Structure 1
Amino acid sequence: MAVNETLSTYSDWSYTSGLAVYVLAMAAYAAEYAFGRKPAQAKASALVGAGAPAPEPVQPGRIAEPPRATVPERAGRIAVLLTGLGALFHFGSLLLRGLATSRWPLGNMYEYVSAVVLVAVVAWLVLLRKHNVRRLGMFVLLPMVILLFLAWSVLYAKAAPLVPALRSYWIVIHVSVIVVASGLFLLPGVASMLYLVRRANEDNPARLASFASKLPDTDTLDRIAYRVTVFCFPLFTFGIIAGAIWAESAWGRYWGWDPKEIVAFVSWVIYAAYLHARATAGWRGKPAAWINILGWASVVFNLFFINMVVAGLHSYAGV
């Protein structure tokens, strides 16, 4: 089937535009984090305001002016808007790639990494509506921008039809579910890393003057990491099971000790251990956070090293 080169070109333009907007958003998040007040300072200001004399009553017919947002707050709001705009460009690139090739746009490493990051971006925007964690934006977008840059500079593949091994409806089920799970796992991985940084500073109050003092408290970071992982784990489990069913249909066996299968199972075991550790007294906190980080590292290892260095039955998607 012929490839629509025009749509393919528009897809590439949309991808680079989305990447550029993400970089601007990350800069805006960084500005809010760098120049915004620490949570303790904001709380102190609120207490001072509570003890101050009552404001003069508003005169009839006069509309009370809402408090003006500070420059860092405006930067944070702009960052969220830019993140949403970047997500639209990002989604457009995958949509146009699919239309250009008349197939599901998950046929190679470039498309796969792009889809993983898109899921992470959407999950981040949803998280912003549930929790006041906008100051994490710089740290969340940094790995996303790095992954997108690597996908564009190292993994890029021209739009083309699917290779025969991937021409199955299972690519929509198995690969899509693994993409969603992998993208969502990025958020708890970052949250656990920042948890350790914040915890190290709380254990030594003299160091709280550092940049970590502007991070959300450890309870918030731990709760985000746990809840997102709880949501992701069943999806990841289903993705592995779906992959085994596809393997039986394509290769005549459910499990063949392929490197990608082995590392995927190792990742599953690590995340199962994290959930168990998080619910076990004595393993909460730092030990559980380290296990969660190890789980994310295994996902990244499986995504890059296994696909690009180790030869196996899953080496047909190309780079």
Structure 2
Amino acid sequence: MTDYTLAQLSNYSVYSAMVVLTLAMLAYALYLARIAPERSERTAEVPERELVAAGAGAPAPEAGIEGSAPGAANGDAGVDRRGGAVEGPEPLGARKAAGVGRMLTLLGTLLVVAGVVLRALEVHRWPLGNMYEFALVGAMFTLLVFTGWSARRDLRWLGLFVVGPVLLVMGAAITVWYTDASELMPSLRSYWLAIHVTVATMTVAVFTIGASLGVLYLIQDRLETTGSPRAAFMRRLPTARGLERLTYAAHVVAFPMWTFTVIAGAIWARQAWGSYWNWDPKEVWSFVIWVVYAAYLHARATTGWKRQNATWIALAGFVCVLMNFAVVNMYFVGQHSYSGL
């Protein structure tokens, strides 16, 4: 099989994956839309029941706020105090949509993996030599992390917020960052490419999921704190406390991986350029990312810091990740100018 044929098959796999993932995203959106009426109808019944249970003159706790369990005394489902999703039966249509979304996500993941493998066979090397390949492998790892985590935990509510960003990255990769197969620069011809850059892409994948969780946490926390009416599907998501814990867990996993990425990059730089640190724009931004995420973990563990403020630091770290990839690679000239564009 020729390299040209492999390139075509890789591109077909990527395009097919985008179609399948688009359908998965729509299925997850339908899932959230289908559970909304069910929760809304049940919520509307809560005040009358609670007034009876609480007695005359006793205030009824607000539905869906953490610390209260609407209708719990009457056998009705409420918020899981451990921070999980709201319990209770879901409409059949919602469950079917979630099942379709999960199967399509799995199929899309397999197609992305096929696209990466075929690209590797085409270029006869580890497929991490330019922005297109990095974005494609990053999308693959994000999907693998999500599908693997979904096998251990019910994350149907998160599907839309993971598949959506992945589709955006893949769309940019295939339309803006795509480059034909090319030889690696001499400094990249090292086994450290497979170690350093692979761990970096895996870390960015976990950071992406952590950022999605962080955004959902801040929205959920805002709604719970102000007592504002929430979209019905938001009541099906974990509580703000549960989302914050998931956000923290993702970053606890990603931060040591990014630390290894920076250290491995320094070792590779010593072999390639004769110095561990050269103040190259890519090196500087990698260190900035490390500092910002270290600040998040420190703030998260420090008494007196609000978890909302700490989460904003984590989101600032993800903005730095995007800057490092989409801006530094394209507009900053340095020893790491490997975008291929």
Return the match for 2:296 from 243, 267, 274. 274
Return the match for 1:306 from 314, 325, 328. 328
Contact (CA 8 Å) 1:247, 1:253: kept in 2 or not?
A: yes
1:33 aligns with 2:32: yes
Distance 1:209 1:317, change over 3 A: closer
Return the match for 1:114 from 130, 136, 140. 136
Query: What is the CA–CA distance in structure 1 between the aligned matches of 2:154 and 2:41, rounded to whole Å?
Result: 16
Report the AA paired with residue 288 of structure 1: A
Deviation at 1:250, TM superposition (A): 0.8
The alignment's C-alpha RMSD in Å is 2.4
1:155 is paired with a residue of what secondary structure? coil
Report the AA paired with residue 143 of structure 1: P
Return the match for 1:200 from 219, 222, 234. 222
Larger mean Cα displacement after TM superposition, 108-117 or 198-207: 198-207
Contact (CA 8 Å) 2:35, 2:91: kept in 1 or not?
A: no
Report the AA paired with residue 8 of structure 2: T
1:229 aligns with 2:229: no
Contact (CA 8 Å) 1:197, 1:212: kept in 2 or not?
A: no
Contact (CA 8 Å) 2:280, 2:334: kept in 1 or not?
A: yes
Contact (CA 8 Å) 2:203, 2:258: kept in 1 or not?
A: yes
Distance 1:216 1:187, change over 3 A: same
Q: Please give the per-residue CA displacement for 1:112-131, whole angstroms capped at 9, x wherever unaligned.
A: 01111111111111222333
Deviation at 1:46, TM superposition (A): 9.1
Deviation at 1:3, TM superposition (A): 6.6
2:118 match: 96
Q: Please give the per-residue CA displacement for 1:117-151, whole angstroms capped at 9, x wherever unaligned.
A: 11111111122233333112112221111111001
Structure 1, unmatched stretches of 5+, are: 52-66
Report the AA paired with residue 26 of structure 1: M
1:123 match: 145
Q: Please give the per-residue CA displacement for 1:269-311, whole angstroms capped at 9, x wherever unaligned.
A: 1111111111112224211110110111111110110001111
1:57 match: none
Deviation at 1:159, TM superposition (A): 2.2
Report the AA paired with residue 235 of structure 2: S
Contact (CA 8 Å) 2:330, 2:339: kept in 1 or not?
A: no
Distance 1:211 1:50, change over 3 A: closer
- Match runs of 1:22-61 below 5 Å: 22-37=21-36, 50=75
Distance 1:141 1:46, change over 3 A: farther
2:81 match: none
State the TM-score, normalizing by the size of structure 1: 0.88
The number of residues matched between the two structures is: 303
Structure 2, unmatched stretches of 5+, are: 47-69, 77-88
Query: What is the CA–CA distance in structure 2 between the aligned matches of 1:238 and 1:165, rounded to whole Å?
Result: 20
Deviation at 1:49, TM superposition (A): 8.7
Distance 1:240 1:3, change over 3 A: farther
